[in-house]
Amino acid sequence: DLLLIRFHGIDDTSHKFAPHSKEALAVIAKTDKMGQELCGLWDGYVIVVADHGQHQVVEDGKKGNHGEFWSSDMFIPLLRREAI
C-alpha cells in the first residue's frame, strides 16, 4: 500500500512572504499538524520529504525563490517513521 500526499501551501507562502517569514512558519506549523494527524491514522511506514528548499529574494514580486545552486535550495529533509 502506498499513500502519497502533497501539501503546496509552504511553497506558495514562502514565495510570497519569504521562507522564514512569520506567515511561512505559520503554514509550516499547520502543515506539520495535518501531517501528524494523518500519520496517526496510518499504521504503515511514513516517509516525509520536501521537493526542494528555498532562499530569500526580492524579485518579480517574490520574497522567496528556488532553482539556484544554493544549499538552501538543494537541502531536502527526509524523515522516516517505523510502522506502528
pLDDT by residue (tens digit) across 11-48? 899 999 999 999 999 999 999 999 889 888 888 888 88
Which single residue is written with the C-alpha cell 496517526?
40
CB atoms within 10 A of CB 13: 22
Instruction: Report if pTM > 0.85.
Output: no
Give, rounded to a whole angstrom, the gap between the first and last alpha carbons of the chain.
Answer: 15
What pLDDT, on the 0 to 100 scale, is given for residue 83?
55
Sorted by sequence, the CB contacts under 8 Å of residue 64 that are 6+ apart come out as 14, 15, 16, 17, 18, 19, 24, 54, 55, 56, 57
Q: Which residues of 16-28 are buried (b: 16+ CB within 10 A; e: fewer)?
A: ebbbebeebeebb
